[in-house]
Amino acid sequence: MSHRIERLSLKGEGLTGDGLTVALALPGEEVEGEADNGRIDRPRIVTPVADRVRPPCRHFASCGGCALQHGSDAFVAGWKTQVVERALAGQGLEAPVRPILTSPPASRRRAVLAGRRTKKGVLVGFHARASDVVTEIPDCRLLHPDLMAALPAAAAATLLGASRKGALAITVTRSEDGVDMAVAEAKPLDTALRIDLAALAESHDLARLSWNGEQLAERRPPRQAMGRAHVVPPAGAFLQATEAGQAALTQAVREALDGARKVADLFAGAGTFALPLAETAEVQAVEGSAAMLAALDRGWRGAPGLKRVTTEARDLFRRPLLPVELARVEAVVIDPPRAGAEAQCAEIARSDLARVAMVSCNPVTFARDAKRLCSGGFRLDWVQPVDQFRWSGHVELAAQFSR
């Protein structure tokens, strides 16, 4: 029995009209295959569409690190733009949506690898689709070459620290000073393992190595550029996935808040936007993680010529900034996690603020929060989609709101 693919899910998988999920299929294609629990994982493409291309990576068929290498670049860009437009339309919103900005191949500077012990040695790579099988990725087209060069270090860490039952989660981050590796779900540390891991960091020239949340070695502080400042984030901390993506989002935020002299950065992280904005404005940075704010503060103090940056550790889900607090600034940038910032946007809508820049990694919660702002008197001026998770189902965006 054949099935027609009607659209893609938000994960980039094909969906049929009768509710089947079909891996590696594109809208308009006819497919055949055995369905299991509502899925066809290995479809036969009966009638491919013109947008189907040969995947650039030889690992694509078995690796779960990418979802959309079988679609042309133009198709993926158009689909991700549609995801944003449909999310807005679902809330009754319209705004100019700018052409999407896509990060180049081999530019991901942060990834979480899986490391598993086997009878013959170790496997390091990404999990296969909908599986706990680990696929090796020696020719990955996604990761920056510096991260590819760290695969042997990840393999060595797996050999030392993985049990035969589970997989390590190995976060590798490219910094200006070398690879920053944070290993989780690993064996507990003892004296012998500490000695072996210190030797591993030395032999593989890691900038920093952390193990189950404990820093073991920092041979060089792994700095990240944020405007003119340099920040050393906590091990494994959130970081924009590519330099090009960070630059695109930062430029959009600068444009949205141009001319503002006092700004609040909400969900500020380690200063991705606060520190570039501090080149022209005083910034109040608010973030739930005290460790992230400490890194931001050290980066600010080490960068000459920036305007004043103050920090406040605060849970913005439970204690959003109120209108009386927002009255101290002229504009706000807000970059919440995937859940969005419903409570904070309700307070912004009640405030007298005239301008807001919002950054989001989830168009659905963005549209919900944008509706709240627009119901409170704001206008959504424009939306800038950014694709820094190339070949995945993810799309990010920045947007400008004004009264």
Q: Is-contact 248 390, C-beta < 8 A?
A: no
Residue (of 197, 151, 189, 191) closest to 170 by Cα position: 151
The C-alpha atoms of residue 209 and residue 164 are separated, in whole angstroms, by 22
Q: In residues, how long is the chain?
A: 403
Taken in order 88, 89, 94, 97, the sign of the CA dihedral is positive
Q: Is 374 a catalytic residue?
A: no
DSSP assignment of 185-206 equals S-PPP-HHHHHHHHHHHHHTT-
Asked whether residue 240 is marked as a ligand-binding residue, the answer is: yes
User: Could you say which of 63, 66, 140, 361 is catalytic?
Assistant: 361
- For residue 158, give the 3-state DSSP assignment: helix
Helix, strand or coil, per DSSP, at residue 401: strand
Is 267 annotated as a binding-site member? yes
User: CA–CA separation, 71 vs 15, rounded Å?
Assistant: 15
Strand 396-402 relative to strand 379-387: parallel, antiparallel, unpaired?
A: antiparallel
Evaluate whether 280 touches 308 at the Cβ level (below 8 Å): no
Walk across the sheet containing 355-360 and list its strands.
101-102, 379-387, 396-402, 355-360, 331-334, 262-266, 282-287, 309-313
The DSSP string of 192-254 is HHHHHHHHHHHHTT-SEEEETTEEEEESS---EEETTEEE-PPTT----S-HHHHHHHHHHHH
Q: Per the annotation, does 335 bind a ligand? A: yes
d(CA 342, CA 365): 8
Residues recognised as catalytic: 361
Binding residues for S-adenosyl-L-methionine: 240, 267, 287, 335
Binding residues: 240, 267, 287, 335
